Amino acid sequence: MSDDYLPARKLLATDQVDAFECGQAALNQFLQRYALVNQKANSAQTYVCCQGDVVVGFYSLAVGSVDPEGAPSRVMKGLARHPVPVMILARLAVDKEHQRKGLGQALLKDALLRTAQAADIAGIRCLLVHAKDDAARQWYESWEFEPSPTDPYHLFLMLKDLKGMLI
């Protein structure tokens, strides 16, 4: 990855988000209108990668839980039938001008690292992502995310697998 990207950090009110265009209106709108609001409400934290103060990529994390029926059997192995604690990778997007340069991969790795750090503080069984389309689903599956038995677009990455990727 080149292009003088700054390390991922939390979104700031001074970050330039208005020109962000990833090709999906819902993701653009989230960053431009809701990410900072959600962050201030402590319902999700958004991390950005910038060139200067211009956001060129971002992802958002939130915590949640999943009913046992919605989790792959591997996730449930050895657990009681209670909701499974998860970190949710709520959004991940890269500006069109910066796609196919490794930035999405770098942002995902940063999200994996922050999830592993959070799991040292509180119980997190896996990272969950809700893929928006087939291309996103295939991309996450290439990272060893496993589909839910109830929705192939809900994908899980076990914490032990996640930690293995960070070594």
Residues involved in catalysis: 140
The answer to whether 57 and 96 have CB atoms below 8 angstroms apart is: no
d(CA 89, CA 112): 9
- The residues that bridge with 50 in the sheet, in sequence order, are 55
**Residue ranges in the chain assigned as alpha helix (H):** 25-29, 35-40, 73-76, 103-119, 134-141, 159-165
Q: Nearest-CA neighbor of 86 among 142, 157, 138?
A: 157
The answer to whether 148 and 70 have CB atoms below 8 angstroms apart is: yes
Counting every residue written for the chain, the total comes to 167
- The residues that bridge with 156 in the sheet, in sequence order, are 128, 146
